[in-house]
């Protein structure tokens, strides 16, 4: 009886574990085989498969690279499974695309396509990498090749539409997205993205149809509800716009954009004081929301509250100059205590010894009626040598 060599024994045992789904044991066996024989290309390939399964992509690519280095140097590689070569080149291309080495990625996809020219996925990924290299005509050619071999793959139409939009071929882009929807009519992500593009193009009716369909499949999507409200405001469908805004804020009352657009809606209806409240809510949630600060300034001046408008403009200056400590001071002065907490929490991560920030934080909790949290804040501050008086 002919005994297998030690390396083949390790490899054979690893293959057995692999086929039974015990990938950890299989990888140990393949690694053992490679300690004995660094040129064992099959062990490198299967190691790549397992590492890929475990999302250890960098290590998987190293294994595939070693596999390719060995088999491409063989005098006769006719016995090598072409699908192994295809997978190694394709995964290599995917990896290099992810880390931004797009030219190397294109070269890898070219190799994969040379082995399997009817791989729609390889043509698609090649087109995507070419797009990131700003080689748009070649990218379109790649997408067209992908469509020729895989016309029903909605992702190809989607990315082709994105590229056509980028180079301002808007009518063709819309046609691509319509094809996407015919293939995947209930894909929530695609509906939202297409709606956003159509909204940018001011194709309000078509965008509204996308967001309505998205809400059919996910009725509590706050982005779709908000975008629907924005379109309805543009179309002056006030009642429906108000309902969509209310629904959005019920779903996510912490969405600063929703509060901002409620402010816009209220301005159009002449309700300046209520609009001011909406902008205040947006700023409390996101203190660096410049557009909300600008609109707040406009309203304060319209209402004749010039001192408040002055403080508002100081806040804007602090934002544009990245003076976050100064902004926290202004927010405290004008009673935006939630906003103070947002900024203090962010700054204290890198500036834990800043006693003034701890002081603002503790006093904001007191103003918000949370004395327990103020006491906790005072105790935390003491760890960094800061004495905070909260009486």
- pLDDT digits over 214-235, tens only? 999 899 999 999 999 999 999 9
The answer to whether residues 262 and 305 belong to one domain is: yes
Look at residue 323 in the predicted model and tell me its pLDDT. 80
| Per-residue pLDDT tens over the stretch 154-184 | 999 999 999 998 998 988 988 898 898 889 8
109 membership: H or E segment, kind and range: helix 102-115
Is 72 a member of any domain?
no
Give yes or no: residues 261 and 314 share one domain: yes
State residue 127's pLDDT score. Answer: 97
Which domain does 201 fall in, by range? 185-245
Predicted local confidence at residue 260, as pLDDT: 97
Residues 232 and 263 in one domain: no
d(CA 182, CA 223): 23
In a domain, 206, yes or no: yes
Q: Is the pLDDT of residue 242 over 60?
A: yes
Same-domain check for residues 200 and 229: yes
Question: If 0-12 CB within 10 Å is exposed, 13-18 middle and 19+ buried, where does residue 379 land?
Answer: exposed
262 plus 220 within the same structural domain = no
Q: Which residue has the higher pLDDT, 275 or 323?
A: 275
How many percent of the chain have pLDDT more than 90?
Answer: 59
Is residue 369 a part of any domain in this protein? yes
Q: Are residues 235 and 258 both part of a single domain?
A: no
* Averaged pLDDT for residues 66-89: 85
Identify whether residues 318 and 260 lie together within a single domain.
Answer: yes
Read off φ and ψ for residue 256, nearest 5 degrees: -65, -35
Give yes or no for a contact between 297 and 316, defined as CB atoms under 8 angstroms apart: yes
The DSSP code sequence of 59-94 is: HHHHHHHHHHHHHTT-S--TTS-HHHHHHHHHHHHH
What local confidence, expressed as pLDDT, does residue 77 receive?
Answer: 66
Nearest in space to 357 (alpha carbons), one of 365, 348, 366: 348
Give the per-residue pLDDT at 3.
38
Q: Where does the pLDDT of residue 385 fall: very low under 50, low under 70, confident under 90, or very high at 90 and above?
A: confident
Mean pLDDT of the chain: 90
Q: Coil, strand, or helix at residue 321?
A: coil
- Cβ-in-10-Å burial (0-12, 13-18, 19+) of 83 comes to exposed
Question: Mean per-residue pLDDT for 47-68?
Answer: 90
Whether pLDDT at 1 is above 50: no
Residues 215/225, Cβ–Cβ less than 8 Å: yes
CA distance 271 to 63: 65
Q: Report if residue 281 sits inside a domain.
A: yes
User: Two tokens at 225?
Assistant: 């509800």
Between CA 195 and CA 318 the distance in angstroms is 35
Residue 64 lies in a domain: no
The rounded distance, in Å, linking the Cα atoms of 129 and 106 is 6
Tell me if 373 is assigned to some domain. Answer: yes
The pLDDT value recorded for residue 186 is 78
* Sign of torsion over alpha carbons 372, 376, 377, 381: positive
pLDDT for residue 4? 53
Q: Helix, strand or coil for residue 134?
A: coil
Mean pLDDT of 233-257: 96
pLDDT of residue 391: 67
Any idea what the CATH number is for the domain that residue 298 is in? Answer: 1.25.40.10
* Least confident range of 3-7, 60-64, 278-282: 3-7
Question: Are the CB atoms for 160 and 183 separated by under 8 Å?
Answer: no
- Same domain? For 259 and 314 the reply is yes
Q: Say how many C-beta atoms besides its own lie within 10 A of residue 323's C-beta.
A: 15
pLDDT reading at 373 higher than 70: yes
Three-state SS at 301 = helix
For residues 258 and 318, membership in a common domain is answered with yes
304: helix, strand or coil? coil
Residue 181 pLDDT:
83
Do the domain assignments include residue 222? yes
Q: What is the mean pLDDT of residues 5-28?
A: 92
Domain count within the chain: 3
Residue 258 and residue 310 in one domain: yes
- pLDDT tens column, 116-159: 999 999 999 999 999 999 999 999 999 999 999 999 999 999 99
Instruction: Tell me the Cα Rg of the chain.
Output: 30
**pLDDT tens-digit profile of 313-372?**
888 888 888 888 788 888 888 888 988 899 899 888 888 988 888 999 999 999 999 999
| Secondary structure letter of residue 27 according to DSSP | H
**End-to-end Cα distance, the chain:** 90
Question: Which DSSP state fits 168?
Answer: T
Residue at which a domain ends, from 222, 245, 268: 245
- Contact status, residue 232 vs residue 240, Cβ threshold 8 Å: yes
Does residue 106 register a pLDDT over 90? yes
Residue where a domain terminates, one of 290, 322, 354 = 322
Does residue 328 belong to any structural domain of this protein? no
Residue 281 near residue 259 (C-beta atoms within 8 A) = yes
Phi then psi for 113, rounded to 5 degrees?
-70, -35
Q: What is the pLDDT of residue 2?
A: 38
Q: Do residues 268 and 222 both lie within one domain?
A: no
Residues 259 and 308 in one domain: yes
Residues 6 or more apart from 211 whose CB is under 8 A from it? 191, 192, 195, 224, 227, 228, 231
């Amino acid at each position: 009886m002919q005994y297998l060599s030690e390396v083949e024994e390790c490899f054979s045992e690893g293959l057995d574990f692999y086929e039974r789904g015990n990938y950890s044991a299989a990888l140990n066996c393949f690694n053992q085989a490679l300690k004995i024989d660094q040129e064992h290309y099959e062990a490198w390939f299967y190691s790549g498969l397992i590492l890929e399964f475990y999302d250890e992509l960098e290590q998987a690519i190293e294994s595939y690279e070693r596999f390719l280095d060995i088999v491409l140097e063989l005098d006769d590689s006719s016995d090598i499974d072409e699908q192994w070569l295809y997978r190694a080149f394709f995964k290599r291309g995917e990896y290099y695309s992810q880390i931004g080495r797009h030219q190397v990625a294109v070269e890898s996809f070219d190799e994969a396509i040379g082995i399997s020219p009817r791989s729609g996925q390889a043509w698609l990924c090649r087109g995507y990498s070419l797009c990131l290299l700003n080689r748009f005509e070649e990218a379109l050619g790649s997408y067209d090749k992908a469509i020729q071999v895989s016309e029903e793959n909605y992702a190809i139409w989607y990315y082709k539409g994105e590229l056509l939009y980028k180079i301002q071929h808007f009518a063709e882009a819309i046609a691509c997205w319509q094809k996407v929807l015919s293939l995947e009519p209930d894909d929530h992500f695609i509906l939202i993205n297409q709606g956003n593009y159509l909204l940018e193009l001011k194709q309000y009716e078509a965008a509204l149809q996308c967001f309505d369909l998205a809400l059919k499949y996910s009725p509590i999507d706050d982005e779709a509800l908000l975008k629907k409200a924005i379109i309805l405001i543009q179309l002056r469908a006030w009642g429906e716009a108000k309902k969509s805004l209310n629904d959005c804020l019920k779903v996510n009352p912490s969405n600063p954009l929703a509060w901002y657009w409620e402010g816009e809606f209220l301005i159009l209806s002449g309700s300046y004081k209520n609009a001011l409240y909406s902008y205040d809510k947006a700023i409390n949630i996101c203190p660096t929301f410049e557009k909300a600060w600008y609109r707040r300034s406009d309203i304060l001046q319209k209402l004749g509250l010039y001192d408040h408008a002055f403080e508002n403009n100081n806040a804007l200056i602090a934002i544009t100059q990245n003076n976050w400590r100064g902004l926290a001071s202004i927010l405290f002065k004008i009673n935006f205590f939630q906003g103070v907490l947002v900024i203090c929490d962010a700054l204290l991560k890198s500036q834990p010894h800043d006693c003034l920030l701890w002081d603002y934080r503790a006093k904001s909790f007191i103003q918000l009626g949370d004395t327990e949290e103020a006491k906790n804040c005072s105790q935390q501050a003491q760890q960094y040598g800061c004495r905070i008086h909260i009486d």
